[in-house]
């Protein structure tokens, strides 16, 4: 799933390639991906892309004041195409292609564009056409952006204060902090040497400061690594940069302990016992059920 660093990189990638170009047309292949009907998606045709920005994990293409807002969700991705002029019309219901955005041909006659794809059977990729991106419900509800200057240690202290929830879930909650998902919350907690099950309200001032440092450093490093990469190379870069997420069974590169996993109904988390939980493995309900 693309999280803040990947979406930030896609934002820069699209800004370089799409700004200044007119939209030739948008093909919505997966009709359930389109969440708005007024203004119609066809009204983007002929408008020029004037800016690309990010809100949390949302991509926002400003097209002469009308916005195409994209949320890639869990299994969505963006694929840049240098020339779509020969692309075949797409039939709904076949393959991962959800939306195709065609840009006007350049001087060389190439008609570039991009495609939004979504793998798997759970279709959550979402596209909105709106005059005001702040009216997209997921954007309206976003918490502060961890890369914004206003995201200070004090701000984080206010966020965790009084919250009787586990820190892992709190970090992933887009209404609390924007842009962090399952992968980077694992990475942040490993960097902060903190148990994912720690109750937010119990953090000391020093731990809040460590967590703040871990959030900002982890995300900035990932943004830097992803900067300037082509959309197609982002997934591999994200994977190679992760130190604990999806690395259960491998040695921790800080202490050498074996990275462990806790599984839930539809996700899992990874952590290093020595770095994060005083050497004690966390209870894994799935595992204990298997052992009964």
Would you tell me which residues interact with Zn ion (CB under 5 A)?
252, 254-255, 257, 272, 274-275
190 near 272, Cβ under 8 Å?
Answer: yes
Instruction: Please give the Cα distance from 97 to 106 (Å, whole number).
Output: 24
In three state form, how does the secondary structure of 141-156 look? CCCCCCCCCCCCHHHH
130 near 69, Cβ under 8 Å?
Answer: yes
- For residues 237 and 257, which CB has a smaller minimum distance to Zn ion in the complex? 257
Q: Which residues of 45-71 are buried (b: 16+ CB within 10 A; e: fewer)?
A: eebebeebbbbbbbbbbbbeebbbbbb
**Cis peptide leading into residue 261 (ω within 30°):** no
- For residues 52 and 272, which CB has a smaller minimum distance to Zn ion in the complex? 272
Minimum CB separation of residue 242 from Zn ion in Å reads 14
Minimum CB separation of residue 60 from Zn ion in Å reads 38
> Which residue minimizes CB distance to Zn ion?
252
- For residues 130 and 277, which CB has a smaller minimum distance to Zn ion in the complex? 277
- For residues 242 and 254, which CB has a smaller minimum distance to Zn ion in the complex? 254
Minimum CB separation of residue 142 from Zn ion in Å reads 32
Minimum CB separation of residue 169 from Zn ion in Å reads 22
Q: Pinpoint the alpha helices (H) of the chain.
A: 4-18, 137-140, 153-160, 167-172, 182-191, 205-226, 234-241, 273-276, 285-291
- For residues 117 and 277, which CB has a smaller minimum distance to Zn ion in the complex? 277
Minimum CB separation of residue 203 from Zn ion in Å reads 20
Minimum CB separation of residue 281 from Zn ion in Å reads 13
Structure tokens at 87: 């692309």
DSSP 18-73: HTTPBEEEEEESSGGGB---SS-GGGGTTPBEEEEEEETTEEEEEETTEEEEEE-T
Q: Can you say how many angstroms the Cα of residue 60 is from the centroid of all Cα atoms in its chain?
A: 13
Minimum CB separation of residue 272 from Zn ion in Å reads 3
- For residues 257 and 284, which CB has a smaller minimum distance to Zn ion in the complex? 257
- For residues 201 and 255, which CB has a smaller minimum distance to Zn ion in the complex? 255
């Amino acid at each position: 799933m693309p999280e803040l660093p990947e979406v930030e990189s896609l934002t820069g990638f699209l800004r370089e390639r799409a700004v200044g170009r007119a939209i030739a047309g948008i093909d919505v292949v997966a009709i359930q991906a389109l969440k708005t009907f007024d203004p119609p998606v066809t009204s983007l045709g002929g408008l020029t892309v004037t800016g690309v920005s990010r809100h949390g994990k949302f991509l926002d293409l400003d097209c002469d004041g009308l916005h195409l807002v994209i949320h890639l969700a869990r299994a969505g991705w963006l694929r840049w195409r240098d020339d779509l002029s020969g692309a075949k019309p797409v039939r709904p219901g076949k393959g991962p292609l959800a939306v195709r955005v065609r840009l006007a041909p350049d001087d060389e006659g190439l008609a570039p564009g991009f495609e939004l794809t979504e793998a798997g059977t759970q279709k959550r990729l979402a596209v909105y056409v709106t005059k005001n991106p702040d009216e997209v419900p997921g954007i309206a509800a976003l918490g502060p952006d961890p890369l914004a200057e206003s995201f200070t240690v004090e701000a984080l202290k206010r966020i965790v204060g009084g919250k009787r929830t586990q820190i892992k879930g709190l970090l992933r909650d887009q209404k609390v902090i924007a842009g962090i998902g399952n992968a980077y919350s694992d990475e942040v907690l490993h960097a902060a040497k903190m148990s994912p099950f720690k109750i937010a309200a119990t953090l000391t001032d020093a731990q809040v400061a460590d967590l703040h440092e871990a959030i900002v450093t982890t995300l900035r490093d990932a943004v830097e690594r992803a900067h300037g990469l082509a959309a197609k190379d982002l997934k591999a870069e994200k994977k190679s940069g992760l130190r604990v997420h999806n690395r259960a069974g491998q040695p921790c590169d800080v202490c050498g302990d074996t990275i462990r996993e806790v599984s839930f109904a539809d996700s899992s988390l990874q952590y290093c016992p020595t770095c994060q939980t005083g050497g004690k493995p966390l209870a894994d309900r799935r595992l204990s059920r298997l052992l009964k």
